[in-house]
Amino acid sequence: MESILRRSARAIKKRDVYKQTRIENLEYSAKQLAAKALRERRQKLQEYARYAPDAERKAFWLGGSTPYQGLGYKTPPKSMSHTYTDFPDNIRENPDYKWDLGDVKIIPGYFRKGDRVVVISGPDKGLIDTIDAADNDKQTVLLLRLNRMYVSYSAEVQKLYKEKVGEMYDMQLPVQYKDIRLVHRLGNRDVIVGKMLVRKCDDGEGGVAYQRFIPGTYEDLDAANPIDYAKKRLDEDSQRRKPEMLPSDTWLTQANEVSWSPSLDHLPMPESVVDEIITPFSRLNPNIDDALVEKTMAKEAIKELKQRAVKVMVSSPAKEVYNRRLEAARLAREEAGPSEEVLSILGQAMAKNFKATGRQPVPIESRRSSGKRRESDKATVPIKIRSSNRESSGKPSLRSKAPLPKYKWPTVPKKSIRARRLAQNSE
């Protein structure tokens, strides 16, 4: 019995030790995995920082068609994510990496194979090419001649092909929808369609098709290869027995056809006319009547009375009388002209100027009569009405042209070092 108890106790202890060891091993492995993940992440960041300048230099030449860099699945030389090629489909499933298009509503059939488009950004800006393939999910297209680059095949990749391939391959690069515009033929010229209107329609077989229009017009962008859905359905229905239709009957496709859709891309009239119509006091507004005019005038009168009341509250009757007297005195002075005292002061100044210079200023009337300016006019000194205090006191003025007296530095008698020391000791 004791042996059974001893063996059971040993088994329980062994189980506890195994359980504790297993927990410790799991914790250690979790720490190892975390350290490994941190090490790999740091290595990816270092590799991205190493190759980032080259990627930015290439992005400058590609413009808006540059794909996102730095996904870092593998090292840059061996990874397709660090080259200017299309990304794998599983990248779009990762929420951490998004396309540089924002929240764009995916419209089926916006661009199609065979469309003529113009590139509006990148190295091929302003050139026209034809779409070779369109990917509506990624919002990108492949062009026939533009936006290509040479890709080098390594020896390992060349062995995967049965036929012999060269080291360099001319590969098409994707162009985003935002970097191209559709080119449509109108008459004898090409026009650039800035925005298209895509509408669902019946394809004649019970399915859904998409037709493209220019907003605000009835110009069908797919008119080059039109599909006569009514004729196609008539041919199919002629094989089945149906009630006879009269020529005046309307087809269902014609009844459901959308001939025009409103749009704000092009206003029906100039903006100035629209502003004039929506203004409440416009001459084109039919809602203006005599009652509205009287109401507006009453509001303006009340507003003017409020402004007068504020002025009356601020000012006093005595202040009003004083202001009126000042205004009357000013008007009287302007009408009377200069007084005798002012004229005497001007005469004294002119005499003093003539005495100092010896030249009398020429009147303005004589200057205007003579065509050219004389030398005496140039040398005329302006009249000085008031002299400065410095000139009256006899001191040299800064405004006068006379040179200032030379400053004399005070002279100090020289003493020997011994005499200075004796003087200090005696003190």
Q: Over 70: is that where the pLDDT of 109 sits? A: no
CA angle 75, 78, 82 (to 5 degrees): 70
- Among 120-134, 151-165, 333-347, 389-403, where is mean pLDDT lowest? 389-403
Q: What is the pLDDT of residue 85?
A: 44
Question: How far does CA 385 lie from the centroid of its chain?
Answer: 61
| SS3 (DSSP) at 211 | strand
pLDDT tens readout for residues 13-48: 777 877 777 777 777 777 888 888 888 888 888 887
Q: What is the pTM of this model?
A: 0.31
List residues bridging with 220 in a β-sheet: 213
pLDDT tens readout for residues 40-81: 888 888 887 887 787 777 777 776 666 555 444 444 444 444
Enumerate domains of the chain plus CATH numbers. 7-98 (no CATH), 108-194 (2.30.30.30), 198-266 (no CATH), 338-380 (no CATH)
Q: For residues 141 and 180, what is the distance between their CA atoms, to the nearest angstrom?
A: 9
Residues 6+ apart with CB under 8 A from 134: 111, 112, 113, 140, 141, 142
pLDDT tens readout for residues 1-10: 677 777 788 7
Helices (DSSP H) in 63-146: which residue ranges? Answer: none
Q: Over 50: is that where the pLDDT of 151 sits? A: yes
Counting residues of the chain whose pLDDT is more than 90, the rounded percentage is 3
What is the rounded average pLDDT of the residues 211-231?
62
Q: Which amino acid is at 6?
A: R
What is the rounded average pLDDT of the residues 128-150?
85
List residues bridging with 129 in a β-sheet: 117
Taking a C-beta distance cutoff of 8 angstroms, is the pair 110, 177 a contact?
yes
- Among 137-146, 290-299, 369-378, where is mean pLDDT lowest? 369-378
Give CA separation, 421 vs 140, 275, 283, 418, in Å: 100, 98, 105, 5
- Among 82-91, 213-222, 301-310, where is mean pLDDT lowest? 82-91
Between 393 and 299, residue with greater pLDDT: 299
Q: For residues 380 and 350, what is the distance between their CA atoms, to the nearest angstrom?
A: 12
Q: What is the DSSP string of 166-185?
A: -SEEEEE--EEGGGEEEEEE
pLDDT band at 415 (very low <50, low <70, confident <90, very high): low
Mean pLDDT of the chain: 70
Q: Over 50: is that where the pLDDT of 86 sits? A: no
Largest CA distance in the chain: 151
What is the rounded average pLDDT of the residues 120-142?
86
Q: Over 70: is that where the pLDDT of 244 sits? A: no
Q: Which amino acid is at 347?
A: G
Six-digit token string for 348: 């004294």
Q: What is the pLDDT of residue 303?
A: 92
Taking a C-beta distance cutoff of 8 angstroms, is the pair 379, 362 a contact?
no
What is the rounded average pLDDT of the residues 132-136?
87
| SS3 (DSSP) at 36 | helix
First to last CA, the chain: 121
CB atoms within 10 A of CB 233: 16
Q: Which of 61-65, 81-85, 128-132, 210-214 has the highest mean pLDDT?
A: 128-132
Q: Which of 128, 132, 218, 134 is nearest to 181 (CA)?
A: 128
Residues 6+ apart with CB under 8 A from 169: 150, 151, 152, 153
Q: Which of 170, 172, 194 is nearest to 182 (CA)?
A: 194
Q: What is the pLDDT of residue 103?
A: 43
Q: Over 70: is that where the pLDDT of 217 sits? A: no
Q: For residues 181 and 117, what is the distance between their CA atoms, to the nearest angstrom?
A: 5
